[in-house]
Structure 1
Amino acid sequence: MSRRLTALNTLLRLIARPRLSHVRDPQEARRDFARTARLVFRAPPYSLWLPGAVRGEAEGAPEIPGLWISCGPVRQRHVILYLHGGGYTTGSPDTHRGMLARLSKLSGLRVFAPDYRLAPEHPAPAALEDAQAAWDGLVALGYEPERIVLAGDSAGGGLAFALLARLCAAGTPPALAIGLAPWVDLAGGGASLAENAGRDALLPAARFEDLVRLYAGTLPRNDVRLSPLYADFPDPPPVLLQVSESEILRDDTLRLEARLRDFGAEVTLQTWPDAPHVFQIFDGWVPEARDALEGAAAEIRRRLAEIAPADQG
């Protein structure tokens, strides 16, 4: 573990985790996250962020706003659909745009990050319906499913795998699915929720029930729209999972890996011994974040090369 990561863990335990333990107003939490993103999260030079929207072809399909994010040359016929984290109550494409610009630069792909609806104003399954609509909108723009990478972190990772279950059932899976510490079990069945309660540098385990209550609405907590750990994934695409061994959501990732393998998925699991939840967002501050993003980008390039080795467009 690098000295920078050790320092980051200390700062998060002293400042961020106590704040997350006590803030109760979602609007205040959103302002905190947005402020942190502006002041702390870094983006590579020449990053480009363009507001936009996508809409599916079906009659009455909703328009989903978001950000088109790129850095450097990108392949025109391929795209990353990225669903941001934030416990389903905070976060936005803006809070993640620095990390996603780096992922674009490393992978050579443009990213579309939808601004999906948040709880408690819009409880489940609103966010998942927006994720589905964003996928449909990209397909309507001409992106073939096998040229789309589906990705997300934390709650956005949960959305990504809930959407993946739908896409697998429909026979239209993406080229690759990526989860950065995805939150895939709102029923709270992972042992790490208690085992790592004292080790997690960022997430306070005591707030788990509060977030679930805000997002779940009237749905049972093991409903696959909330908890894709319990979903079926027929004929899944390759999957990349990244997680820290010290975070409370560790077992969500480990159990998801096993679940996907049961359905025949080729799963690559990358772990770090002591890093904060979604540490990748601290790219530019800690070397482990860049290592993780480079690993994700390498997997993207490898998979797309296998699908269309001669296609550079």
Structure 2
Amino acid sequence: MSLLRPLLNGYLRLVEKRKLARTRDVHKIRRDFARTARLLFRAPRRTKITRSRLTGAGEVLRVSPAQTRSDLVIFYIHGGGFIFGSPDTHSAMLGALAQRLGAAAVLPYYRLAPEAPFPAAIQDVAAAYQAVLDSGVAAHNIILGGDSAGGALAFNLLSRLCADAGPLPRALFVFSPLTDFLHEGVSFRENAAREAVLPAAQAGLMAEMYLAGANPSDPAVSPLRADYRGAPPVWITVGSTEILRDDARRMSTYLQDQNVNVTLVEEHDLPHVWPIFHNFLPEARTTLDALTQWIKQVPSTADES
């Protein structure tokens, strides 16, 4: 582990986590995170980032590397507790992944809570996914991804596709995903103090804003209760001291029980969604490298047929 890891954890725990814990103004949370992203996160040189509108859906952010060498398209759903974050705050991380793969990324803008609670976000994400297919991208060339709340939405989308026999992506990957809206994992309490980013109480509040009375046990809400039979390979990573550690562990077991090919990578004491710190955290770059190799090794369903 690098020397930067404990320094970053300390800063996040003392500054960002406390700030998030005491703030109830969602507009301030959004402004603060957007400002932090602009200051700290940089995409690789010559990365092309453009905003556009998909026919039949809303706006997306397209992230393309300096050299495109692959037909793959990363369809990535940003996190932010369903109330903040945007494709703009996550574009640098996707630029780093896109560069490694030589592939483009598409990040949908989805409506945020509390202004637009469930099911607005998943409706927007599902419409964007279909619009990407309608634009001519083959499903077997799509790599579905997400982080935190975006990880929940990625699993929500995957379960919808499995249920509807819709065109399935080649694979799915998630960073520090939320999978249980009841927060029944032991780590939600066990890691409350050690968690570097998410204050447990605030995570519950964000979920309440998003659900707005919807049943947290509904399989359309909690990925840990949905059906994934027939799903493509899944790659999950989480930190050992995250409050969502057991969301990842339990999701991995749940998927394996449904005969889904799952890779779970649990790293020691890394902060929530650490790949976003790729500009200065060695472990973030290592994780992106490992994910890249995993994606390259996943066979295309078109090749298998």
* TM superposition score category, shorter chain reference: over 0.9
Alignment correspondent of 2:79: 85
Alignment-derived partner of residue 2 in structure 2: 2
Q: Write the distance in 2 (CA, Å) between the matches of 1:47 and 1:85.
A: 22
By how many angstroms is 1:225 displaced?
Answer: 2.3
Q: Helix, strand or coil: the match of 1:94? A: helix
Q: Which stretch shows the higher mean deviation, 2-11 or 297-306?
A: 297-306
Q: So what's the TM-score if we normalise by structure 1? A: 0.94
TM superposition shift of 1:269:
1.0
Q: Which amino acid aligns with 2:275?
A: Q
1:27-46 maps to which residues of 2 (within 5 A)? 27-46=27-46
- Aligned partner of 1:176: which letter? A
Contact between 1:34 and 1:91, CA under 8 Å: does it hold in 2?
A: yes
Query: 2:116 aligned with 1:119, yes or no?
Result: no
Is residue 181 of structure 1 aligned with residue 207 of structure 2?
no
The match for 1:58 is: none
Do structure 1's residue 200 and structure 2's residue 195 form an aligned pair? yes
SS at match of 1:96: helix
Residue 242 of structure 1 corresponds to: 237
- After superposition, give the CA deviation of every residue in 1:51-102 in whole Å (9 maximum; x if it has no partner): 11223xxxxx4x2101000112224642111000000000000000110000
Q: How many residues align?
A: 303
Q: What is the alpha-carbon distance in structure 2 between the residues aligned to residue 50 and residue 9 of structure 1? A: 32
- Give the Cα separation in 2 of the matches to 1:120 and 1:150: 25
Query: Match of 2:38, SS?
Result: helix
Verify: 1:23 aligned to 2:14, yes or no: no
Give the deviation of 1:307 after TM superposition: 5.2
User: Which amino acid counterpart does residue 94 of structure 2 have in structure 1?
Assistant: L
Which amino acid is 1:45 matched to? R
Q: Which residues in structure 2 correspond to 1:299-310 (within 5 Å)?
A: 299-304=294-299, 308=303
292 and 76 in structure 1: CA distance in 2 versus 1, 3 angstrom threshold = closer
Distance in 2 (alpha carbons) for counterparts of 1:236 and 1:209: 29
Q: Where does residue 214 of structure 2 map in the other structure?
A: 219
C-alpha spacing 1:220/1:254, structure 2 compared with 1 (3 Å): same
Is the CA contact (8 Å cut-off) linking 1:71 and 1:104 kept in structure 2? yes
**Residue identity matched to 1:134:** A
Tell me, in whole angstroms, the C-alpha distance in 2 between the residues paired with 1:231 and 1:9: 33
Matched, 1:140 2:134: yes
2:252 aligns with 257
Counterpart of 1:266 in structure 2 is 261
- 1:164 matched to 2:158? The reply is yes
Q: How does 1:32-111 map to 2 (within 5 A)?
A: 32-55=32-55, 61=56, 63-75=57-69, 77-111=71-105
Q: Taking every aligned residue pair, what percent have the same amino acid on both sides?
A: 41
Of 200-209 and 83-92, the range deviating more from structure 2: 200-209
Structure 1 contact 150–176 (Cα < 8 Å) conserved: yes
Q: Is the contact made by 1:75 and 1:110 (CA closer than 8 Å) also made in structure 2? A: no
After superposition, the C-alpha distances for 1:3-38 in whole angstroms (9 at most, x for unaligned) are 011110111111101101011011110001000000
TM-score normalised by length of structure 2: 0.96
Following superposition, the deviation at residue 209 of structure 1 comes to 2.1
Letter in 2 for 1:108: G
* Structure 1 unaligned blocks of 5 or more: 56-60
Per the TM alignment, residue 170 of structure 1 is displaced from its structure 2 partner at its CA by 2.4
Over the residues paired in the alignment, what is the CA RMSD in angstroms?
1.4
Gap regions ≥5 residues in structure 2: none
1:233 to 215, 228, 234: 228
